[in-house]
């Protein structure tokens, strides 16, 4: 799956509020109500990622979970990462 062009990436991000691009990846920080909720959210992402054989970088800091998607083999963001970001948004249950 080829890396997205800058124009394609900008267009894709229009459908992903809260996600930003930088350093060859897309990222978003999610704020959960409690620390256990943050761990549960990260765990759900981990199981989905394992099933898809496509794994994000996850940073858990108390109630915040930062999720970063990139296709390292392509050196940047691909459609696979955009789909994974949409799936991540669907997993998130908190305002």
pLDDT at 47 over 90: yes
Q: What is the pLDDT of residue 46?
A: 97
Position 78 pLDDT exceeds 90? yes
> What predicted TM-score, i.e. pTM, was given to this entire model?
0.95
Q: With beta carbons less than 8 A apart as the criterion, state whether 77 and 25 touch.
A: yes
Distance linking the first and last C-alpha atoms of the chain? 33
pLDDT (mean) for 48-69 = 97
Mean pLDDT, residues 15-37: 97
In order of start, what are the domains of the chain with their CATH numbers? 6-91 (3.30.1360.20)
**DSSP letters spanning 35-82:** HHHHHHHHHHHHHHHHHHT---EEEEETTEEEEEE-BGGGTB--HHHH
Query: Is the per-residue pLDDT at 80 higher than 90?
Result: yes
**Per-residue pLDDT, 95:** 66
């Amino acid at each position: 799956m080829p890396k997205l062009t800058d124009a394609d990436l900008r267009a894709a991000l229009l459908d992903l509020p809260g996600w930003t691009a930088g350093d060859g990846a897309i990222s978003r920080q999610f704020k959960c109500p409690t620390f256990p909720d943050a761990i549960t959210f990260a765990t759900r992402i981990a199981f989905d990622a394992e099933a898809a054989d496509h794994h994000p970088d996850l940073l858990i800091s108390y109630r915040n979970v930062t999720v970063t998607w990139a296709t390292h083999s392509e050196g940047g963001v691909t459609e696979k990462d955009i789909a994974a970001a949409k799936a991540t948004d669907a997993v998130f249950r908190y305002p």
